[in-house]
């Protein structure tokens, strides 16, 4: 691999966080007297940040949006590392990248403090080169701004890095930033979605990333 860094999405790419996301949101919906959803339904609700998860969950009950959002953020901050787990093969992939001196970065639309909690839980002591989550005033994926900021901070060119993710916002973000993009099929969205959004490569297992002509 010639690239110096891989920038990973978190949810659906490195970890399966759906059980904890669903549990926290369902508890928040119950508090407002709203119907809950099965875990699998959250596959289509996540990916664009906490505001979109809340918006998609309350549906037409926009009068409950602020309360559900606040309850969810407080609940998830306390319970984001309960049933979340690293996908099989991801720890081995990260170990190989480290051995080959390839930097591993994380860019998520999840609140940054929650990103660190999840990473510390699933990958204790792993030396991430850079970790970024949602920050006030900074655009979310698919806006390319956070990727470009990572490249500037690490003094990397667009040719030095590739973006790895499981959903349309990841692929669109990477492509808008001028990076090679890798779509993974073990996450929350479909292979069709990855192809429709122009992923340069599609992989079905983490170890396949190491064999790509990156």
pLDDT digits (tens, 9 = 90+) for 88-131: 999 999 999 999 999 999 999 999 999 999 999 999 999 999 99
Closest CA relative to residue 84, chosen from 27, 187, 11? 11
**pLDDT for 187 beyond 90:** yes
**Structure confidence at residue 146 as a pLDDT band (50, 70, 90):** very high
Would you say the pTM of this structure is higher than 0.85?
A: yes
Mean pLDDT on 32-54: 94
> What total of structural domains would you count in the chain?
2
Do 146 and 110 reside in the same domain of the chain? yes
Report the CATH number that the domain containing residue 59 is assigned in CATH.
Answer: 1.10.150.240
Residue 137: its pLDDT value, please? 87
Find the domain containing 170 and state its range: 5-16+84-211
Of the candidates 47, 108, 86, which has an alpha carbon nearest to the alpha carbon of residue 206? 86
Q: State the pLDDT at residue 47.
A: 82
What mean pLDDT comes out for the span 3-21?
A: 98
DSSP output for 83-104: S-EEPTTHHHHHHHHHHTT-EE
pLDDT of residue 73: 97
Whether residues 68 and 173 share a domain: the answer is: no
Examine the fold and report which residue of 79, 110, 126 is the final residue of a domain before the chain moves on. Answer: 79
Residue 135's pLDDT is 87
β-strand pairing of 201-203 with 180-184: parallel
Average model confidence (pLDDT) across the chain = 97
Is the domain of 64 the same as that of 111? Answer: no
Q: Using CA of residue 96, residue 97, residue 99, residue 104, what is the dihedral sign?
A: negative
Q: What is the pLDDT of residue 62?
A: 96
Say which range, 28-32, 49-53, 140-144, has the weakest mean pLDDT. Answer: 49-53
Q: Are 76 and 5 in contact (CB under 8 A)?
A: no
pLDDT grade for 136, boundaries at 50, 70 and 90: confident
CA pair distance 2, 45, nearest whole angstrom: 35
192 and 102 in a common domain: yes
- Provide the CATH number for the domain around residue 125: 3.40.50.1000
pLDDT at 152: 97
Q: Give, as one character, the DSSP assignment of residue 81.
A: T
Q: Which helix (H) or strand (E) holds 110?
A: strand 103-111
Measured in whole angstroms, the distance separating CA 84 from the mean position of its chain's CA atoms is 13
For the four alpha carbons of 204, 205, 206 and 207, in that order, the dihedral sign comes to negative
Helices (H) and strands (E) in the chain, counts: 8, 8
């Amino acid at each position: 691999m010639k690239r110096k860094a891989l920038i990973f999405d978190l949810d659906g790419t490195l970890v399966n966080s759906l059980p904890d996301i669903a549990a926290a949101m369902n508890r928040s919906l119950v508090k407002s007297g709203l119907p809950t959803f099965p875990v699998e339904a959250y596959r289509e609700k996540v990916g664009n940040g906490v505001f979109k998860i809340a918006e998609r969950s309350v549906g037409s009950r926009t009068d409950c949006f602020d309360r559900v959002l606040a309850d969810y953020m407080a609940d998830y901050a306390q319970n984001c590392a309960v049933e979340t787990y690293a996908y099989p093969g991801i720890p081995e992939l990260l170990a190989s990248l480290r051995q080959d001196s390839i930097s591993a970065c994380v860019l998520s639309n999840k609140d940054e403090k929650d990103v660190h909690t999840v990473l510390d839980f699933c990958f204790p002591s792993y030396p991430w080169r850079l970790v970024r989550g949602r920050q006030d005033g900074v655009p979310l994926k698919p806006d390319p701004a956070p990727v470009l900021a990572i490249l500037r901070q690490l003094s990397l060119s667009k040719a030095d890095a590739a973006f790895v993710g499981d959903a349309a916002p990841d692929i669109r973000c990477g492509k808008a930033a001028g990076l090679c993009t890798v779509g993974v099929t073990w996450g929350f969205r479909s292979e069709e979605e990855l192809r429709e959004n122009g992923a340069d490569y599609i992989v079905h297992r983490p170890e396949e990333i190491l064999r790509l002509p990156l």
